[in-house]
Structure 1
């Protein structure tokens, strides 16, 4: 429905007292691009669409609609970004409608890293990305739908990293208790120190050391108000057998670490990666080449709620020797998986597989975000953010 059609529909309703409610219900279902245009219609619409309660209500509705979700991924050796409608990927098995994004870091800084750009994660339509530099990393909290971003700096004193390695891993999360967005950084060179950035206070604070060894995920996994990392007893061993790993959690509210119990795996020697599917924390337990088991924790914090949702076999013609992590699961059992440089859609009901067209060898970095009006600035705090300890 076009904006003009919506206005005619509202004008034709013979219930003057209900007119504002009808306009509200219509606008709440508009995509972000249309709402940004609607802000120019009149002052009352601009005020309504800018209202924090409207933004939260729109986010709540959009979060349940796959048509308002997009995949964002890096390409060109992780120097650029693209987005694509999620329903195109899941239903059409294609990214032909992907669009280049003007990255907040585009062209303004140089990096000595071969793959300088990483997507840390997304929350409520905000995407956190990091631009790695030897002289200090630059981070952005960015809304790709509104094109608004805020900038900050990672504040660890970092020595040059080993070849192909990063000095720090990050996590991005939403703290519901304080209505605040937070970035957590774990140093891999400075005794695993942990610092946390608050978007509301615009400050970094040290919150202790990372427990139980070393984090191995590229980014922390946000689920149920906690950030999570798979950790190993030795530094950065991605292929560490899963039975030697622990799942470390970080409570954003009280800034304390804990440990989440793991599923009862069939046998030792498998490799595991963390992910989140909706409200479920999940582990993809990979046997390499043969199959991978997808486990989900249906009740967070309850060990007995771990459920093996699917055992995903490898097709004979798969171009990557392993699955990395799940990105999405549909109501019909369709699972979108990141696999090496590729994306794979598998149907757990009939065991069929599809490689995503036009995506081959594009990225090792991708996540899903919901289109929203959420601002990357705290309320009443305009301008870019420059932070240091």
Structure 2
């Protein structure tokens, strides 16, 4: 085809192809492979992909096996339509990995749900490439017990992916701040030049929005705020949470989320026998007065079968997990329930493993040769980098420190 069309036309066509088709195109010729694996093409293809509505990535743990599946987020559909299933090549030393975050087709996973294994992976399931991060500077063998909180995102200035690690060795002591850059492949200690006064005290997932990772933190006087780490500036800032009144002030659970590219706060509580759920959205990033109560769900008519919310769809429907593990979609009136047709399970492991996130397929990491990757072994012993025996030795040398 390249013999009959101008190069610009060929590139324009390739930009619009899905990742699966582009992987096949890398076998057409050396020039095509060089083009498709170039950082410039990866970035431009990602921009095209982001113009299309992102899909939903669903993770669940079935019989000690993690499953990652991609579904189209079509609000008009009565069921989720699966568009892809990714083979998960890693094995957690815990029941399953913690999903730190998703950004530009990359997932950041950490094996620290119960026991801290110092194992953090960047994984692109679309191109089946991964990077195992080196052990950070602060580990249990050297410092004893501590709590860690991770953030993952993209530095748009340097076009680099970063993981920030915040570790508390003792109460009242400033945390250690470390940043891993994919471009350098090493952890950098920022503790001497970066200060974080409020203490992150929630194991809820961070969210990446507007170029920063966000957590809920607390000052010593019990004043809660949102802490943001800017990936470009590598600095922290704080923002006030919305002033909650009425039933919102009686929440039992809360976490941060992203809704339509805006920072959001999810609140849920069980005043009686049914789940209540509300969503606040910061409509103008960084402007604390712009917090607005966007959605309010009253599931009284549904009954007590709903357990916890997982996601808010584009048109404001809530994806909720039931007590039997099924996923359902409920409108704001709480009277219309759509079962997505996914079989669930009542086990605690299954229900805790359920996670939903926005996802876009990309070519990130494709330019790296598989032989150069430090990757965890797959279940069948095949590894794109380090051998299975090397990982086993590393895991045995790491004390299974139970997180506080």
Shorter-chain TM-score bucket reads 0.7 to 0.9
Gaps of 5+ in 2: 376-385, 387-393, 395-404
Q: Could you tell me whether the CA contact under 8 Å between 1:158 and 1:189 is conserved in 2?
A: no
Alignment of 1:222-261 (within 5 A): 222-232=208-218, 244-261=223-240
8 Å Cα contact 1:85-1:97 kept in structure 2: yes
Corresponding residue number in structure 1 for 2:150 = 170
Aligned partner of 1:122 in structure 2 is 102
Question: Is 1:28 matched with 2:15?
Answer: yes
CA, structure 1 residues 89+141, in 2 after alignment: closer, same or farther (shift >3 Å)?
farther
Alignment match, 1:141? 122
Shift of 1:148: 0.5
1:369 aligned onto 2:359: yes
Runs (5+) with no aligned partner, structure 1: 1-6, 160-164, 235-242
Give 1:249 shift.
1.2
* Cα gap change, 1:213 to 1:102, in 2 (>3 Å): closer
Does the Cα contact within 8 Å between 1:333 and 1:349 map onto a contact in 2?
no
Structure 1 CA distance for aligned equivalents of residues 190 and 219 of structure 2? 21
Q: Name the CA shift for 1:249/1:222 in 2 (closer, same or farther; >3 Å).
A: same
Q: 1:85 aligns with which of 49, 71, 76?
A: 71
- Given that 2:224 and 2:240 are in contact with CA atoms closer than 8 Å, whether structure 1 keeps it comes out as no
Q: Which moved more, 1:360-369 or 1:214-223?
A: 360-369
Instruction: Specify the SS of the correspondent of 2:306.
Output: coil
What's the CA shift string for 1:122-163, capped at 9, x where partnerless? 11101111123857321111110000111114433227xxxx
Deviation of the 1:167 alpha carbon = 4.1
| 1:320 alignment partner, one of 306, 312, 319 | 306
Corresponding residue for residue 269 of structure 2: 287
Confirm or deny: 8 A CA contact 1:96 1:358 kept in the other structure. no
Using structure 1 for the length normalisation, give the TM-score: 0.77
| Equivalent pair of 2:298/2:332 in contact (CA under 8 Å) | no
Q: Which residue of 1 aligns with 2:62?
A: 76
The superposition leaves residues 268-294 of structure 1 with CA deviations (integer Å, 9 ceiling, x where unpaired) of: 332421011242000012233452221
Alignment CA distance shift 1:295-1:47 (3 Å): same
CA 1:97/1:179 → structure 2, altered by over 3 Å: closer, same or farther?
closer
Q: Distance in 2 between matches of 1:135 and 1:306?
A: 35
Q: Secondary structure of the residue that 2:250 maps to in structure 1?
A: coil
- Which residue does the alignment assign to 2:288? 303
Counterpart of 1:162 in structure 2 is: none
Cα deviation digits, residues 213-261 of structure 1 (max 9, x gap) = 2331433211101111012468xxxxxxxx9532111122332222112
SS across alignment from 2:73: helix
What is the distance in 2 between the residues matched to 1:230 and 1:77?
33
Question: Please, what is the CA RMSD of the aligned residues?
Answer: 3.6
Deviations 1:283-342 (A, max 9, x none): 01223345222111121101222222211222524533433x53x532x44444567855
C-alpha contact 1:217 1:273 (8 A) present in aligned 2: no
Q: CA 1:61–1:344 in 2, change beyond 3 Å: closer, same or farther?
A: farther
Change (3 A) 1:26 1:186: same
